[in-house]
Amino acid sequence: MLKRSGFNSVRPLVSAAAALMALLSGPAASADPPPREALLDRLQIEDMMVEYYTILPQRDHHDLGEYFSSNAELVLNGDSYKGRDAIQKFYDGALDPRIQPGKSYNMLIGNPRIKVTGNTATMDAIWTGILSDHVKAPPRLIEQGTEHTDFIKQDGRWLVTRRVIVSESGLP
């Protein structure tokens, strides 16, 4: 008898667990994945930013302004550059003295969190600058920071509308 009354006291818990499992296996748990177009947009943005970060450490920053919309803003450690032409002018004059012939300097973008909402998107990421003095020397992490970037899709192409970059260490 004691066992039976113990089982009766557990029965409401079992019923509640079954109801919870039914809720979890309902529409919310089996929601469709994001539409194929949103996934494609996310990949296009990530590819674009990898390309951008590949060009960034080169001595010639030709056409970096083309990644930005005409009225975009670049905020770099509190300094603001507004408009594609001003952004390109900044990059044309931004020669990092650490980028020297015979040395390898690369920028990595890590942990990108990209959220696409229709024709707009955002990305938060961590960036890291790596310098290799020569092939037999170990690489050195020389700078790191974060970025928040807003995008807009215009004429089928993703463009940066606002990019906020914060250097957390290693400014030249």
- Bridge-based pairing state of the strands 79-82 and 68-76: antiparallel
Give yes or no for residue 27 having a pLDDT over 50: no
Dist CA 37 CA 15 (whole Å): 41
- The pTM of this model reads 0.75
Report yes or no: 42 and 130 within 8 Å, Cβ to Cβ.
no
**pLDDT higher for 39 or 18?**
39
Q: Which runs of E-coded beta strand occur in the chain? A: 68-76, 79-82, 104-117, 120-132, 140-154, 157-169
- Residue 102 above 70 pLDDT? yes
Q: What angle do CA 119, 124, 128 make, to 5 degrees?
A: 135
